[in-house]
Amino acid sequence: MNVEVMPSPATDTLLSAEPHIAQVGVIGAGQMGNGIAHVCALAGLPVTLLDAKKPALDSALATIAHNMDRQVNRGIVTAEDRDAALARITTNLDYAAFDDADLVIEAATEKEEIKRAIFKQLVPHLKPSCLLASNTSSISITRLAADTDRPEKFIGMHFMNPVPVMKLVEIIRGIATDEPTFQAVDALARKVGKITAVAEDFPAFIVNRILVPMINEAVYALYEGVGSVSAIDISLKLGANHPMGPLELADFIGLDTCLSIMQVLHDGLADSKYRPCPLLVKYVEAGWLGRKTGRGFYDYSQTPPRPTR
């Protein structure tokens, strides 16, 4: 016997309550922010990209155009799609530009105090229905959400770098995040061509909980003289079939970001196995942050880059 199950009024209400995301805001015009703007615009969404400095916005637009040109050359998108996507991106220096946004994604530097300050400035300019997401790679979503006026509409949306290429987005619910927010953000991630993985709100979530301690261990191996930079990287590339060695990857991510994530893990889990390597700390103190500063575990002033140890 076939029995037709009718949705209850409560189910109908929940489904109809799912927010519709038609306009997106992105805060931070760096690597992650311009990548998020890139994929959202290509998916047909108008995007407002905000940064504190106009040169950063100009650089972001140039990067997005360059990366879209590469996609056109590879046959991934058409020239018409590229032109339409670029036309959907506007830039601004004022949080008031987000007054009509349905979702604002924060993609600022991986420092909790900076993120908290951003949300404090942002929230007064948002409509009540606007959702908030942080692209944090390690910081508690619950804690960030508690500083806003809408913790139930706050969620983690961790894109991978480089955003236009990498397929994964980690979705992280805080303790107060409601189901409609989760469903809307999960659907948006899929709309922009990503595959989602749901992570619990523990320090560094899934990817960086596993990846960054591996990088930290590679730095310890260098620090203790187990192997040179070249030996460590070639060992993991050829011995474990990694596309990049761990020290090369650390330079790509940014040594300051790696250190911040290790500090979050160490502070949040109180386990000595997450202690940042002193050599990683020393490189960050020296300002040798990797590719973005031209020097990290490799010196990028020459081709091919030369190991610095």
Q: Is 272 a catalytic residue?
A: no
Contact 154, 145 (CB under 8 A): yes
| 250 touches 222 (CB < 8 A) | no
List the catalytic residue out of 110, 170, 216, 260: 170
Asked about 170 being catalytic, the answer comes back as: yes
Closest CA to 263 of 121, 118, 113: 113
For residue 20, indicate whether it is catalytic.
no
Strand 131-134, strand 47-50: pairing = unpaired
Radius of gyration of the chain (CA): 21
Beta bridge partners of 290: 295
| Closest C-alpha to 247, from 224, 282, 278, 222 | 222
Amino acid at 146: A
Query: What count of residues does the chain have?
Result: 309
Tell me the HSE value of 210 on the side-chain side, using a 13 A CA sphere: 3
Cβ neighbours of 65 (radius 10 Å): 16
Q: Which of 34, 135, 140, 208 is catalytic?
A: 208
**2 included as an active-site residue:** no
Task: Please state whether the peptide bond connecting residue 304 to the residue before it is cis, i.e. omega within 30 degrees of 0.
Answer: yes
Rounded-to-integer distance, Cα 196 and Cα 170, Å: 6
Question: Rounded to whole angstroms, what are the CA distances from 244 to 61, 168, 249, 295?
Answer: 28, 18, 6, 17
Which of 134, 135, 137, 216 is an active site residue? 137
What's the DSSP call for residue 193?
T
Closest residue by Cα to residue 89 from 141, 36, 131? 36
Show which residues are catalytic: 137, 158, 170, 208
